């Protein structure tokens, strides 16, 4: 199988971290692509009509896309238990929260990098950061016991989201007033799976 991704992509990183955690990196060939919302790589468009990465090209069926779908598929194929039935709804909600942080953070990047400067809207940037900030507050207030438990996709997604904030929005200091989350992330970042997939 082939995974279409890009080194900076936090969604692609989720998949790669999962592969490291479940010992399946040798089963997938990672193909690096360069694609944007306005200039879609043809190989990405062929795999995912939405033109988004990551996309997983399978040998025995149509390509899968959306990182949540890919991660569920790979976890099921390996029987790895990263979506444990006993905590499934918590895991899925935590994964959705982390992906929402990434959605907002990427939207901010697009506003600054793709939209012409005269059309950029500070109000949009502020509103997107407010979404991310509320989600970070929720992680600090409600999810620390789960984050401190056995590793699952909720934790992987959260770590990749926080890593992306450091990578693209480091000056905003998400750690301020969130000491528990900051401490958890510092420890989780030491995992080999995180080190091996860190964006350049």
Q: Give 48: exposed, middle or buried? Use CB within 10 Å, 0-12, 13-18, 19+.
A: buried
- CA dist 165 and 175 (Å) reads 10
Half-sphere exposure of 179 (CA within 13 A, CB side): 0
C-alpha distances in angstroms, 36 versus 6, 29, 65, 71, 132? 11, 22, 16, 22, 22
pLDDT of residue 200: 78
Beta pairing partners, 56 = 3, 64
SS3 2: strand
CATH 3.40.30.10 fits 2-78, yes or no: yes
What average pLDDT values come out for the chain (200 residues) when binned by 10 residues? 97 98 97 91 96 96 97 98 98 98 96 88 95 98 97 98 97 96 98 95
SS3 115: coil
Domain boundaries, the chain: 2-78, 85-197
pLDDT of residue 76: 98
Please state which CATH class domain 85-197 belongs to: mainly alpha
Task: Tell how strand 2-5 and strand 55-57 pair up.
Answer: antiparallel
Residues in Cβ contact with 20 at an 8 Å cutoff, skipping those fewer than 6 apart: 192, 193, 196, 197
SS3 84: coil
């Amino acid at each position: 199988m082939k995974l279409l991704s890009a080194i900076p992509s936090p969604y692609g990183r989720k998949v790669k971290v999962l592969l490291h955690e479940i010992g399946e990196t040798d089963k997938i060939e990672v193909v690096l692509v360069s694609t944007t919302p306005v200039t879609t790589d043809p190989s990405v468009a062929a795999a995912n009509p939405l033109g988004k990465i990551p996309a997983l090209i399978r040998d025995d069926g149509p390509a899968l896309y959306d990182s949540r779908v890919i991660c569920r598929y790979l976890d099921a194929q390996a029987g790895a238990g990263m979506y444990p039935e006993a905590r499934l709804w918590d895991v899925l909600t935590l994964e959705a929260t982390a992906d929402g942080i990434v959605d907002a953070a990427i939207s901010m990047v697009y506003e600054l990098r793709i939209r012409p400067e005269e059309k950029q809207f500070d109000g949009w940037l502020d509103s997107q950061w407010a979404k991310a900030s509320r989600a970070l507050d929720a992680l600090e207030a409600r999810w620390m016991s789960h984050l401190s438990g056995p590793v699952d996709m909720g934790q992987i997604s959260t770590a990749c989201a926080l890593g992306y904030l450091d990578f693209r929005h480091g000056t905003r200091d998400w750690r301020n007033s969130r000491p528990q989350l900051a401490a958890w992330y510092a420890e989780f970042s030491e995992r080999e799976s995180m080190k091996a997939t860190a964006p350049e």
